[in-house]
Chain A
């Protein structure tokens, strides 16, 4: 188990490093950082001075290594737009995004697990088809569109929920639903497929032969086995949800990392973008690792070896 974790950690580091290289190269080739720093309408000579001062005239590889060195030392630099330390900025916004991610994950599971179980227990019936319809709907609709529908319904028509901002828990309701609903179909399919398989397993028949009521057979004996892959997917999906928060936070002006990323991109705030991308990728990789560990732990064949 320890070896397994060490191996996966090494892999995680490698992935994070690769992401940082790719994002660095993409960012540096997508626009001239010196122009961004100097601001609109700066003179060529000033831009040139900035380019030299920031080392932007050096080869890309050298620039990357310098950045990597500073980053590993905990120095992500200064925000060009907010004029504050990038680390402070990112840390201040992270809790909102993490909360949104966890809430929408919880929402997705809350919707997907009961639907998936129902669909499997009543496989090929109208209940199954109705659950499938909900899932297809969720997957087919872009989440920004769904978010706008929610806004129209709950903020404009009923006036129950605030349109934007992050002041209270009410501000989290629509972002959570919009983001979570998007993740639910994948869970639902996984739960349904797992349950259909497990429900025809011999040990489920054994449980029925004991005279246990249907709910015990379904929830204790079947779901416990069908849920194992869901745990791993939860971690991966949480990563996706953090990525998806860029769009959702922007729509609802929810003041988290996603909104920060959007603002930094519009203002060509390279250090912040780079930091957010690296941070999200590290979280993503760590979550995947966590999922694998949880998976191993949930399976007694691996845990009690």
Chain B
């Protein structure tokens, strides 16, 4: 196997809040191969966004990151200087955010915001950057691309803005794109279009994609690998085929049970609801975080469950095979 484009080992993020320290992400490890699509799934608040921001070094100031290895194409970002990280960000690794309405600067034109990263990273002139921007706007399906460059974000719809965010992420020809629920804020009809676009571009350009999504239908269609997060931990991680056909962790099984049967799956179906509540992440969690909701819970689950592996498939549970 060739070297993965992204390796994350033992990532933890603490966030200082008024109520105490919130362990938003705990001991998360995964890797993404070149050109591969990893889907990160889990209920809202389980730490997906914080994980992606931690990888991009974009965490809010109240957050502290600890990680034993965070390597992009073999270079450990956790041990690199700010300059080295900035040379990669927006260049070889890019991010698409959840909220297209606020992710663009209201004071600058689309053209300016599209080209500034390219001009910096590629040492390109204005004309060349503009040409590249027009090319990418066309690629993400925006008509009259040249005219859009002079417009301001408030003149565009949410769907258009998210297309622009995708074009912006692709400007420098990245090896890795992290997309954090890129369609959640959009109309349902536009959601499918944007996701299809993203998947097509990923395949065409051979980009590695980390896609955070609620939509298990999408995961089934485009994921090579799936990482399932629960209460700040990756509780199961494996190939999409394994996760869908043979989920090992009771939480993953619960998620799968919530998908309607094949053939009756409606497009845009969201993760279902598993009864019970997620434990508070403030002040640390002892034992398996899922045990209050787990149908298989036993007294031994009050201790930290082991990580079991089978090939590339890994899960955190006392059960061998539930």
Partner-B contacts on A (CB < 8 A): 123, 200-214, 216, 221, 224-225, 299-301, 304
Count of chain B residues with a beta carbon within 8 Å of a chain A beta carbon: 33
A206 and B97: CB pair below 8 A?
Answer: yes
**CB of B307 closer than 8 Å to a CB of A:** no
Known A-B contacts A212-B116, A212-B117; the reply to A206 vs B152 at CB < 8 A is no
B117 and A203: CB pair below 8 A?
Answer: no
- Pairs across A and B, CB under 8 Å, 10 listed: A202-B99, A205-B103, A206-B97, A211-B89, A212-B116, A212-B117, A212-B120, A213-B86, A299-B106, A300-B106
**CB of B3 closer than 8 Å to a CB of A:** no
Q: Whose C-beta in chain A lies nearest to the C-beta of B155?
A: A304
Q: Which residues of B sit under 8 angstroms from A214, Cβ to Cβ?
A: 82
B89 and A208: CB pair below 8 A?
Answer: yes
Q: Whose C-beta in chain B lies nearest to the C-beta of A223?
A: B107
Which 7 A-B residue pairings sit nearest by Cβ, starting from the closest? Answer: A210-B90, A211-B89, A210-B117, A211-B90, A202-B102, A203-B105, A211-B86
Q: Which residues of B sit under 8 angstroms from A203, Cβ to Cβ?
A: 102-106
A205 and B58: CB pair below 8 A?
Answer: yes
Q: Whose C-beta in chain A lies nearest to the C-beta of B150?
A: A304
> Which B152-190 residues have a C-beta within 8 angstroms of A?
152, 154-155, 165, 168
Q: Whose C-beta in chain A lies nearest to the C-beta of B57?
A: A208
B88 and A211: CB pair below 8 A?
Answer: yes
**CB of B87 closer than 8 Å to a CB of A:** yes
**CB of B94 closer than 8 Å to a CB of A:** yes
Cα distance A208–B117 in the bound complex, in angstroms:
10
Cα distance A123–B107 in the bound complex, in angstroms:
24
A214-B82, A221-B105, A225-B107 given; 20 more Cβ-contact pairs under 8 Å? A200-B60, A202-B99, A202-B103, A203-B102, A203-B106, A204-B105, A205-B97, A206-B103, A206-B113, A206-B165, A207-B105, A209-B58, A209-B94, A210-B120, A211-B85, A211-B91, A211-B117, A216-B116, A221-B108, A300-B152
> Which B78-126 residues have a C-beta within 8 angstroms of A?
82, 85-91, 94-95, 97, 99, 102-108, 113, 116-117, 120-121
- Chain A: minimal CB distance from B49 (Å): 11
Q: Which residues of B sit under 8 angstroms from A209, Cβ to Cβ?
A: 56, 58, 89-90, 94-95, 97
CB < 8 Å A-B pair total:
76
A301 and B56: CB pair below 8 A?
Answer: no
Partner-A contacts on B (CB < 8 A): 56, 58, 60-61, 82, 85-91, 94-95, 97, 99, 102-108, 113, 116-117, 120-121, 152, 154-155, 165, 168
A225 and B89: CB pair below 8 A?
Answer: no
B106 and A301: CB pair below 8 A?
Answer: yes
- Chain B: minimal CB distance from A140 (Å): 30
Q: Whose C-beta in chain B lies nearest to the C-beta of A303?
A: B152
- Chain A: minimal CB distance from B302 (Å): 38
Known A-B contacts A200-B60, A202-B97, A205-B58; the reply to A211 vs B120 at CB < 8 A is yes
A304 and B152: CB pair below 8 A?
Answer: yes
Cα distance A204–B90 in the bound complex, in angstroms:
13
Q: Which residues of A sit under 8 angstroms from B120, Cβ to Cβ?
A: 210-212
A208 and B58: CB pair below 8 A?
Answer: yes
Q: Which residues of A sit under 8 angstroms from B168, Cβ to Cβ?
A: 206, 210
Q: Whose C-beta in chain A lies nearest to the C-beta of B94?
A: A209
Q: Which residues of B sit under 8 angstroms from A210, Cβ to Cβ?
A: 89-90, 116-117, 120, 168
B106 and A225: CB pair below 8 A?
Answer: yes
- Chain A: minimal CB distance from B123 (Å): 13
B99 and A212: CB pair below 8 A?
Answer: no
- Chain B: minimal CB distance from A27 (Å): 47
- Chain A: minimal CB distance from B82 (Å): 8
Q: Whose C-beta in chain A lies nearest to the C-beta of B102?
A: A202
B87 and A206: CB pair below 8 A?
Answer: no
- Chain B: minimal CB distance from A125 (Å): 11
Q: Whose C-beta in chain B lies nearest to the C-beta of A209?
A: B95
Q: Which residues of A sit under 8 angstroms from B97, Cβ to Cβ?
A: 202, 205-206, 209
A212 and B105: CB pair below 8 A?
Answer: no
Q: Which residues of B sit under 8 angstroms from A225, Cβ to Cβ?
A: 105-107
Cα distance A207–B103 in the bound complex, in angstroms:
9
Q: Which residues of B sit under 8 angstroms from A201, Cβ to Cβ?
A: 102
Q: Which residues of B sit under 8 angstroms from A299, Cβ to Cβ?
A: 106-107
Cα distance A48–B104 in the bound complex, in angstroms:
74
A211 and B58: CB pair below 8 A?
Answer: no
- Chain B: minimal CB distance from A151 (Å): 43
Q: Which residues of B sit under 8 angstroms from A206, Cβ to Cβ?
A: 97, 103-105, 113, 165, 168
- Chain A: minimal CB distance from B104 (Å): 6
- Chain A: minimal CB distance from B257 (Å): 35
